[in-house]
Amino acid sequence: MKPIVLDNSALIEILLEKEERSDQAISVYNCIQKLNTEIYLLYFALFEIKAVISNKKINHGNIEFRKILSKESPLKCKYFPVNEKFVTTHLNSKIGYLKAADYIYVCLASQEDAILITEDNKQHRISKEAGIETYKLEEFVKKYG
């Protein structure tokens, strides 16, 4: 099984309870566990996720993390720094225009021959056009669930 690049939109859905696509996110998490595949994340994503969580706390009060994530059933993750080496080995001018982080996720999936899971419509479309195996949460579950 190919590794999976989780865009922050998809990762937030998996990490937090009561998100818009909670049922789909749980199904994706269960598929990833069943497939025993590795998740590829970018180091800077941790800061972006922290900012999203902080914003949700400010705007919505208390937030809840899913209880399914634990030491007994962790996500197996490999982290990639976005540094000079990453820029020279991963950036791809053949990929259509996307904003910075969205572009970097697509480049990571492309260069590492990984599956991209995203809920961002433009990122989904452009990555598919670039020949990357790309799914929204629901599509991934239909294919691999």
How far is residue 121's CA from residue 123's CA, in Å, rounded to a whole number?
6
Q: What is the pLDDT of residues 46-97, one digit of tens each?
A: 888 888 878 877 777 777 777 766 677 777 889 998 889 888 888 777 887 8
Q: What is the pLDDT of residues 111-139, one digit of tens each?
A: 999 999 999 999 999 999 999 999 999 99
How far is residue 45's CA from residue 54's CA, in Å, rounded to a whole number?
14
- pTM value > 0.95: no
Q: Under a CB-based contact definition with an 8 Å cutoff, are residues 120 and 102 in contact?
A: yes
Q: Could you report how far apart the first and last alpha carbons of the chain are, in Å?
A: 13
Orientation angle between helical segments 43-60 and 100-111, nearest 10 degrees: 140
Vertex 106 angle, CA 78 and 138, to 5°: 85
pLDDT of residue 76: 86
Name the CA radius of gyration of the chain, rounded. Answer: 15
Structural domains of the chain in order of their starting residue, each with its CATH number: 4-144 (3.40.50.1010)
Side chain identity at residue 137, one-letter code: L
